[in-house]
């Protein structure tokens, strides 16, 4: 087992005492038992727990062969999906790849450019992406368990039509890859009718826990990352984070610490990173925790900040604002490349005190300085550190947060695997767009909208 992730809660000592940890330990043990024995809510959605160690050689072989085909025949891979259907893959590609992958020459990149669509309702975004694809060979990976989610469904119709016009039906068929439900749904029926190569999303794995399925692994493999190493890191994480003893399990310590801080009035968690390559990992993390915990009037509100940029903007609020938040700092011990500050004998910029220092050392001092300042300012800080940005440690990090989220949900008293609130806006959206079967709701909503327009003048008079 490689040297792994490190969790440091020493910057909460002024906020949490031994009594707090003693009190939460039995609750954590109970959450562990309910998760592993399947006695907690959402027990039919725990397939992600064993994904890293399941024997899926044939599926992994199919993923690698499809990825190699896409890499050898395509200038671009377009990935269609929303939420968990794209955030995990995007996070991995950003963390493990070159900052400017899509701008590199094909020789340096070694594979296709990769773009994501179907995660918004912007006509400008779609039109400009289609403009970018002109004259390029393209493959398409559409990801949706049901196939009926509006944003990716619209994008797939647009891009499938574009592919068929460019390559013809037969040519497009060989360039379209479908990741969907194993047996049912719009996309499953379409894949079988058209003969698209397809990959199955397990029934017992929800979207935000699906990175280690073909949902994440196919785009990641196309991007050139080693999916075997990712799964190896996750498998070692599974072993390490399986002990029920709070004192020995950093994953459970994180879940417990955030739960205790929440009980003490900390309503917001800010995930902080000092590396721009973590930007979409933070987006994945936000969905994981918001969708898992935010229900029944409960939950910690997850937001993200990118330091040191945000230290020069929201840093003021974090230092001196309302004390209803805590930070979780995500950092890397050592970069794969370091930049050394050159020596300037004239010291015209006043940076002589940095002569010969590497950016890694400077970043470490910035991290330490912010940790001390914010803690002194009344903001508890948790630190999650990985040794290096590698495929192995990406897998371990993902598993760490997935399991911590499940435990956190049970500590909070909610089902961490459903998302009932997401359906509310969808019902209204379908009704207002005229989807069959929603006629009554459409009439009710349109009446409410007309009513709001009528009372607007009265509202203005109250200003």
- Interatomic CA distance for residues 167 and 463, integer angstroms: 58
How many Cβ atoms from other residues are within 10 Å of residue 366's Cβ?
Answer: 14
Predicted pLDDT at 271: 98
Distance, in Å, from the CA atom of 268 to the CA atom of 304, rounded to the nearest integer, reads 10
Average predicted confidence (pLDDT) for the chain: 94
Cα(40)–Cα(33) distance, integer angstroms: 9
| pLDDT tens for each residue of 107-137 | 999 999 999 999 999 999 999 999 999 999 9
- pLDDT at residue 445 in the model: 85
Backbone angles phi, psi at 340, to 5 degrees: -95, 135
Per-residue DSSP letter, 53: G
Cα-flanking dihedrals φ and ψ of residue 430, to 5°? -60, -40
Q: How many C-beta atoms lie closer than 10 Å to residue 164's C-beta?
A: 16
Q: What is the pTM of this model?
A: 0.94
Q: What share of the chain is helix, strand, coil (3-state, %, to 5)?
A: 55, 15, 30
Active-site entry in 61, 68, 426, 439: 426
pLDDT at 462: 60
pLDDT for res 3: 76
Element containing residue 97 per DSSP (H, E): none
**pLDDT reported for residue 392:** 98
More confident residue, 426 or 256: 256
Q: Do 304 and 270 form a contact (C-beta atoms < 8 A)? A: yes
The strand pair at 76-80 and 6-8 is best described as unpaired
Preceding omega of 308 cis (within 30 degrees of 0): yes
**Other Cβ atoms within 10 Å of 276 Cβ, number:** 11
What is the percent of the chain with per-residue pLDDT over 90, rounded to a whole number? 89
pLDDT at 434: 87
Between the alpha carbon of residue 393 and those of residues 152, 242, 304, 384, 454, the distances in Å are 30, 17, 21, 12, 56
The two structure tokens encoding residue 47: 């397939």
What pLDDT, on the 0 to 100 scale, is given for residue 329? 98
Question: What is the sign, positive or negative, of the torsion defined by CA atoms of 287, 394, 231, 180?
Answer: positive
381-386 and 6-8 beta bridge pairing: antiparallel
**What are the tens digits of pLDDT across the range 34-74?**
999 999 999 999 999 999 999 999 999 999 999 999 999 99
C-alpha 400/C-alpha 238 separation (Å) is 8
448 vs 143, which has greater pLDDT?
Answer: 143
pLDDT in tens, 200-218: 999 999 999 999 999 999 9
349 CB contacts (<8 Å, ≥6 apart)?
Answer: none
Q: How far is 33 from 244, CA to CA, in rounded Å?
A: 8
Helices assigned H by DSSP within 342-421: 359-376, 391-412
pLDDT at 452 over 80: no
pLDDT score at 461: 63
Six-digit token pair at 324? 């209803």
Our answer to whether residue 298 is catalytic in this structure is no
Q: Compute the distance between CA of residue 367 and CA of residue 266 in angstroms, rounded to an integer.
A: 22
pLDDT at 148: 87
Half-sphere exposure of 111 (CA within 13 A, CB side): 22
Instruction: Give me the pLDDT at residue 295, please.
Output: 93
pLDDT at 261: 98
Residue 291 annotated among the catalytic residues of the structure: yes
Chain mean position to CA 462: 42
* Mean pLDDT (whole number) for 90-103: 96
Beta strands in 203-361 (DSSP E): 268-273, 301-306, 325-332
The answer to whether residue 1 scores a pLDDT higher than 60 is: no
- Taking each helix axis from N to C end, the angle separating 422-432 and 150-173, rounded to the nearest 10 degrees, works out to 70
Please report where in the chains the tokens 């940095």 appear, as a residue: 354
How is residue 223 written in tokens? Answer: 């991007």
- Say what the pLDDT of residue 57 is: 94
Q: 188, 34 in Cβ contact below 8 A?
A: no
pLDDT in tens, 310-323: 999 999 999 999 99
Q: Given 113, 151, 291, 327, which residue is catalytic?
A: 291
Three-class SS state of 258: helix
């Amino acid at each position: 087992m490689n040297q792994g992730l490190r969790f440091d809660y020493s910057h909460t000592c002024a906020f949490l005492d031994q009594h707090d940890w003693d009190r939460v330990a039995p609750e954590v043990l109970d959450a562990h038992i309910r998760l592993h024995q399947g006695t907690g809510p959402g027990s039919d959605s725990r397939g992600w727990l064993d994904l890293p160690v399941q024997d899926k050689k044939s599926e992994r072989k199919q993923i690698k062969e499809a990825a190699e085909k896409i890499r050898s025949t395509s200038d671009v891979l377009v990935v269609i999906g929303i939420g968990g259907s794209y955030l995990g893959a995007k996070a991995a590609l950003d963390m493990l790849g070159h900052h400017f992958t899509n701008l590199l020459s094909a020789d340096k990149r070694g594979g296709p450019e990769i773009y994501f669509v179907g995660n918004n309702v912007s006509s400008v975004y779609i039109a400009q992406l289609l403009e970018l694809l002109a004259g390029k060979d393209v493959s398409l990976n559409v990801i949706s368990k049901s196939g009926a989610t509006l944003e990716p469904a619209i994008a797939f119709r647009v891009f499938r039509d574009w592919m068929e016009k460019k390559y013809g039906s037969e040519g497009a068929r060989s360039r379209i890859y479908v990741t969907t439900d194993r047996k049912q749904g719009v996309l499953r029926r379409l894949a079988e009718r058209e003969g698209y190569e397809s990959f199955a999303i397990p029934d017992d794995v929800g979207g935000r826990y699906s990175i280690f399925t073909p949902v994440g692994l196919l785009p990641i493999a196309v991007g050139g990352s080693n999916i075997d190493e990712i799964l190896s890191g996750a498998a070692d994480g599974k072993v390490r984070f399986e002990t029920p003893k709070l004192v020995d399990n950093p994953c459970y310590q994180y879940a417990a610490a955030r739960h205790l801080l929440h009980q003490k009035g900390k309503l917001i968690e800010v995930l902080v990173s000092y590396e721009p390559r973590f930007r979409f990992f933070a987006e994945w993390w936000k969905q994981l925790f918001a969708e898992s915990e935010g229900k029944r009037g409960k939950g910690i509100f997850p937001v993200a900040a990118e330091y040191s940029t945000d230290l020069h903007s929201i840093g003021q609020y974090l230092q001196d604002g309302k004390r209803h938040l805590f930070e979780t700092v995500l950092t890397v011990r050592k970069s794969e490349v370091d930049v050394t500050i050159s020596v300037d004998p004239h010291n015209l910029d006043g940076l002589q005190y940095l002569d010969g220092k590497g950016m890694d050392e400077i970043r470490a001092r910035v991290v330490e300085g912010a940790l001390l300042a914010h803690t002194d300012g009344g903001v508890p800080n948790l630190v999650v550190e990985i040794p290096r940005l590698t495929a192995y440690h990406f897998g371990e990090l993902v598993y760490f947060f997935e399991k911590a989220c499940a435990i956190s949900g049970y500590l909070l008293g909610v089902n961490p695997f459903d998302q009932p609130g997401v359906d509310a806006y969808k019902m209204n959206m379908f009704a207002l767009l005229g989807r069959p079967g929603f006629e009554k709701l459409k009439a009710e909503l349109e009446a409410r909208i007309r009513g709001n327009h009528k009372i607007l003048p009265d509202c203005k008079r109250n200003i």
